[in-house]
Amino acid sequence: MTSAYLKIDHVEKTFQRGSATTNVLKDVSLVIDKGEYVSIIGHSGCGKSTLLNIVAGLTPVTEGAVLLEGKEVNAPGPERAVVFQNHSLLPWLSVYDNVALAVNKVFGRTKSKTERHDWIMHNLDLVQMGHAKDKRPSEISGGMKQRVGIARGLAMEPKILLLDEPFGALDALTRAHLQDSIMQIHATLGNTMIMITHDVDEAVLLSDRIVMMTNGPSARIGEVLDVRLERPRKRLELVSDRTYIAAREAVLKFLYERHRFVEAA
């Protein structure tokens, strides 16, 4: 069992507010291999963001543990970089400086100044944002901000890149663009990635495995679906692909038949 790259081991999370206790996650276990792209899907409020925050170390577990390469993680760190849903770029820094903040912190000791500069530009070019390096976040579009957020995450050279609904706030066309970019980056760098999403097509298109969560409170992993599609995947060709359609159907059935979102809950 020590061979697992990332191991989420019987994680349980309870939030306490005053006298009220809410059990958000119940007995969640998952093993993720190196280089795998795993999506976590579920209705809103099912605790998928909480699970990601636990892996990131931003939220402590109530019980259980998260192990990365056999070592327990209980604090945030750059080896588990997060791409936040609302990009979270620092508005007073330029695009370049936002990435530089991460690079200088992570590689301040190991890389020289020119190496760091090249590394920053390399990552900005990877998401096609090199041309806007001197712009401030307020001067670029939502999709571009998210690209910079991804560049910042990648620039930390993380063992695992955690994406928290990275394309949730974007329009459909921009989203498709960024999904292609992410697929390309994943193919080139072979990063291990965990992505939160509520978009079925996105999950099927991008993932090796889709983790479907039941509704909260006390959300569990309901089902894990292997997406056996060849890479590189082409959006247009997949539309009529049998495996793709089957995978899509399985996720939809899970979400809308067996675990319908109950408003009252």
Partner 1 sequence: MNAPIDHGRDGMGQPALKDAGAGAKVVALPAAAAVVALPRATGKPLSETLAPLAKSVLVTVLPPLVTIALILLFWQIAASGPQSSLPPPSKIWEEARDLITEPFYWAGSQDIGLGWRILVSLQRVAIGFSLAAIVGVLLGALVGQSVWAMRGLDPVFQVLRTVPPLAWLPLSLAAFRDSQPSAIFVIFITAIWPVIINTAVGIRNIPQDYRNVAQVLRLNQVEFFFKIMVPSAAPYIFTGLRIGVGLSWLAIVAAEMLTGGVGIGFFIWDAWNSSRLSDIIVALVYIGVVGFVLDRLVAFIGAIVTRGTAAQ
Alpha carbons 258 and 160: distance in angstroms, whole number: 31
Q: Contact positions toward partner 1, by CB under 8 A?
A: 56-58, 75-78, 80-82, 84, 86, 88, 90-93, 101-102, 105-106, 136-138, 156
State both tokens at 240.
Answer: 């009529």
Query: DSSP letters along 74-95, please?
Result: -S--TTEEEE-TT----TTS-H
State both tokens at 14.
Answer: 């309870």
* Nearer of residues 47 and 137 to partner 1, judged by Cβ: 137
* Nearer of residues 67 and 101 to partner 1, judged by Cβ: 101
> Closest separation between CB of residue 155 and partner 1, Å?
11
> Closest separation between CB of residue 119 and partner 1, Å?
15
> Closest separation between CB of residue 84 and partner 1, Å?
6
* Nearer of residues 78 and 217 to partner 1, judged by Cβ: 78
> Closest separation between CB of residue 82 and partner 1, Å?
5
* Nearer of residues 92 and 256 to partner 1, judged by Cβ: 92
3-state secondary structure of 162: strand
Alpha carbons 91 and 101: distance in angstroms, whole number: 13
CA atoms within 13 A on the CB side of 223: 13
Alpha carbons 4 and 219: distance in angstroms, whole number: 23
